[in-house]
Structure 1
Amino acid sequence: MNPLSGILGEAWRMYRAHALHLLTIAFAVYVVATLIQALLTSSLGVVGALLASIVGIIAAFLVQAALVKAVEDVRDGRVDLSLGDTLKAAGPAVGRVAIASILAGIAIGVGLILFIVPGLFLLTIWCLIVPVLVIEGVSIGTSFSRSRQLVRGFHWNVFATIVTVFVLAIVAAIVLSLILAPLPDAPRQILSGLISGTLFAPFSALVVTLAYFRLVHSQESVTGTG
């Protein structure tokens, strides 16, 4: 039995039910990051652009951690943590999420460039490192082995889910680019990043976090633990 069956539908239902809460979290982080990036780029030139890139990376990791925490919170059907509480709860994991994501990104990127298949394999077995880090509070090294452990036996199911989410993201990006096409380059790029991040990051976080809980439950059902 596929433990991920119907996960996209469940993610979409939760997205609609808690849209305001999830979108607010993503928007709050992205809008602050966007304003800081614009200020740095306009005032410090090349150095500012470099610093702006760093701000963007930190924001992306904070959003990942915060949204995973938010999804964990709303799984029972109600919102218990406020925006501030969610960011505060996710804060301790941001550093580990950042380091783990960078390490995974480098390894996956090299795998995709050199051989493609190894990169896709690593993407599949490490797709749960963020929820593992945020929810279980484990070390960076443990998050990789734990993610692989959870995915074991369901590689194709997980891979198919990742591909589907990726395709949906591409379609959403194309639609957004068409809508924003009449705007000048600078505002179009800023709005595109802000809107796409705000709208799609929560859905992606929902899918990944729900996959984590489903695979944990599946493992516990087999081993008789939990």
Structure 2
Amino acid sequence: MAGPWPLRYSEQFCLTVSLDKSPEEVMAIYGADPGQARLLPMADAPYVPPPDTTLHVGHVGEWTFGIDFDEHIGSTKQVMRDLSEQGESMILFRTAKALTVFHYAVNGRIAEWFEPGYPPSSRGVSPHQFSQRVHELTSVGIHPVSACLQVIARRTGRELTTEDAHGPLHTVVIEKPDRAALEHPEPLLLFPVHLRKNSRPLGRRLHTGRRSAEDA
């Protein structure tokens, strides 16, 4: 029996879940050629060295998910902007520096973003209250990534499972993506201006050296 996707054990990844986008549209937004994609189990996907990345794409009802690991580009500003154009997208990623961030984008702008498990990081609001729901779950001991997957499932109507993760999924290699261009699109991806609550304590930045979510 399929269980929840154990994404919490992945060191670096970016998962995007987008409404009313076909797998082909999602692959094109990432900069891949949909015509080069193959349906493969995730375990059979080819290894590619950096800076290339392998994108895996599947769908759950009206929603299409994409995931790439290590040198992921799903969290770049251009990809997040375009995935949410005329719709919405939820983006969950973890960086090489162990920074985990959730973004909720609507119509080309970020409505909410936060570090799951750290309420002072919350910025923006939406009717779905992703930040509040995630922090409620993490406060009772649920892993931050697992908490995010639960709120994503609440929005889509079904959780992502091990069966979804194993595939087969549309699989395509993106060769040498231009990350600098992807992080500085025109028009810009807009973020909420003000923190919902008090700004992040300065001491957290000074003592951990962690980057903010906008810089990730």
The question of a shared fold, defined as TM-score above 0.5 by the shorter chain, is answered with no
- Alignment TM-score, normalising by the size of structure 2: 0.31
More strand by share: 2
More helix by share: 1
